[in-house]
């Protein structure tokens, strides 16, 4: 219908357009009228992994690991809100004054996070984190220089030896990518349960159960958090539990699982270093609200977490493993870390 109307208009105005220009013109109007407007060309670029709209102040993209400003402009804030609505409406979600914040997963697995005034002071904000079509394995991390082959051999061996591993690092440093790559080394005969806030892990093994948290409804009911899913996972006869990220009281449940027959589990956490990652686990375990002395929690951490991997995003955009350490289980009072590499 759009193509026919466009061709009729060009014919009526006696405008002759080359075929390639006509195709581009059709795509332009289709994007503007029904699609994602000026963001559509960015999302067609396979090199773009994330798109960030900061209201009318500009659009930024992460392209091949590097953050750069995109040559994209919106006519108004209403246009940005319209694009957000086009993204979330098919998912049964809405964004308006009563619900000014939305976090959702698209049909292709990409994540969308949006905020509008009054909670966003700079106008409508939109972040789209694209879902890559192929999960990266251990050899891919070596190819991308996340670590060298010797380091990866050690880490793959640790996974196969059922050592429990914590991947630590800052935001967008590649923790989940590394977690997924390490999980490739889990044996095909093992039953794996994955738990995530936003499903990103893709494992090649045949016996994988994937669980995802659920946000509360508009009425504020029906929420299912990581802690609830972890307790459910323990009833599913898992050989391994892979948690996308620990953020709160579920850390205590995870540590108890690691210490009671579920060795070889994997997870990530936000922290600036291996030692700081263990301190973060302490804090999160205390958030569980269980009356346990700090000494008991530290003992669970020392016995549960065997290896900490620290990852960092470098100024040039590369993600790099900077430390691999072993947690000494028999240390007294505090934590003793022994460098593996």
For domain 138-339, which CATH number applies: 3.20.20.140, 3.40.50.300, 3.40.190.10, 3.30.479.30? 3.40.50.300
Q: Which segment of 77-86, 190-199, 263-272, 312-321 scores lowest on mean pLDDT?
A: 312-321
Q: Sorting pLDDT into bands at 50, 70 and 90, what band is 66?
A: confident
| Strand-by-strand arrangement of the 59-63 sheet | 66-70, 59-63, 48-54, 125-129, 111-115, 101-105
Second-level CATH architecture of 35-129: 2-Layer Sandwich (3.30)
Q: Sorting pLDDT into bands at 50, 70 and 90, what band is 208?
A: very high
Across the chain, what does the average pLDDT equal?
Answer: 90
Q: Are 327 and 168 in contact (CB under 8 A)?
A: no
Kindly state the greatest CA–CA separation across the chain: 86
- Mean per-residue pLDDT, 320-332: 94
Is the predicted pLDDT of residue 126 greater than 60, yes or no? Answer: yes
Distance of CA 73 to the CA centre of its chain: 27
Rounded distance between C-alpha atoms, residue 17 and residue 23, angstroms: 10
Beta strands 208-212 and 192-196, pairing class: parallel
- Mean per-residue pLDDT, 30-49: 80
Is the predicted pLDDT of residue 267 greater than 90, yes or no? Answer: yes
Residue that is written with structure tokens 């951490």 in the block = 301
Residues 6+ apart with CB under 8 A from 285: 249, 251, 252, 255, 292, 297, 300, 301
Is the predicted pLDDT of residue 19 greater than 60, yes or no? Answer: no
| Domain map (residue ranges) of the chain | 35-129, 138-339
Q: Which stretch of DSSP H or E encloses residue 162?
A: none
pLDDT for 20? 46
Note every long-range contact of 59-62, with CB atoms under 8 Å and residues 24 or more positions apart, other chains counting.
62/172, 62/317
- Mean per-residue pLDDT, 201-223: 90
- Mean per-residue pLDDT, 28-37: 62
**Neighbouring-strand partners of residue 211:** 195
Rounded distance between C-alpha atoms, residue 267 and residue 254, angstroms: 9
Q: Are 249 and 227 in contact (CB under 8 A)?
A: yes
Q: Sorting pLDDT into bands at 50, 70 and 90, what band is 23?
A: low
- Mean per-residue pLDDT, 182-196: 98
pLDDT for 339? 96
Which of the pair, 200 or 273, is modelled with greater confidence? Answer: 273
pLDDT for 306? 98
């Amino acid at each position: 219908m759009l193509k026919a109307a466009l061709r009729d208009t060009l014919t009526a105005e006696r405008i002759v357009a080359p075929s390639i220009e006509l195709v581009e013109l059709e795509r332009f109007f289709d994007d503007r009228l029904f699609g994602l407007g000026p963001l559509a060309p960015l999302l067609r670029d396979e090199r773009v992994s994330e798109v960030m709209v900061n209201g009318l102040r500009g659009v930024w993209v992460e392209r091949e690991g590097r953050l750069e400003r995109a040559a994209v402009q919106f006519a108004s804030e209403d246009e940005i809100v319209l694009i957000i609505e086009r993204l979330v409406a098919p998912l049964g979600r809405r964004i308006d004054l009563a619900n000014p914040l939305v976090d959702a997963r698209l049909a292709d697995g990409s994540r969308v996070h949006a905020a509008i005034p009054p909670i966003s002071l700079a106008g409508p904000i939109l972040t789209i984190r694209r879902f890559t079509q192929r999960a990266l394995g251990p050899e891919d991390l070596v190819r991308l220089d996340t670590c060298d082959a010797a380091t990866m051999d050690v880490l793959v061996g640790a996974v196969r030896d059922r050592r429990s591993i914590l991947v630590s690092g800052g935001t967008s440093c590649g923790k989940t990518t590394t977690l997924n790559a390490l999980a490739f080394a889990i044996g095909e005969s093992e039953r794996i349960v994955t738990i995530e806030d936003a499903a990103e892990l893709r494992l090649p093994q045949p016996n994988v159960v994937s669980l995802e948290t659920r946000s509360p409804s508009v009425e504020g009911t029906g929420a299912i958090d990581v802690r609830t899913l972890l307790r459910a996972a323990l009833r599913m006869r898992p050989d391994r539990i892979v948690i996308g990220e620990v953020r709160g009281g579920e850390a205590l449940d995870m540590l108890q699982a690691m210490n009671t027959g579920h060795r070889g589990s994997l997870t990530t956490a936000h922290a600036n270093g291996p030692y700081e990652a263990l301190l973060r686990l302490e804090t999160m375990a205390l958030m569980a609200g269980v009356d346990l002395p700090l000494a008991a929690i530290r003992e669970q951490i020392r016995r549960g977490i065997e290896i900490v991997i620290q990852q960092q995003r470098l100024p040039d955009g590369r993600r790099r493993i900077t430390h691999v350490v072993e947690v000494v289980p028999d240390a007294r009072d505090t934590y003793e870390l022994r460098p593996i590499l």
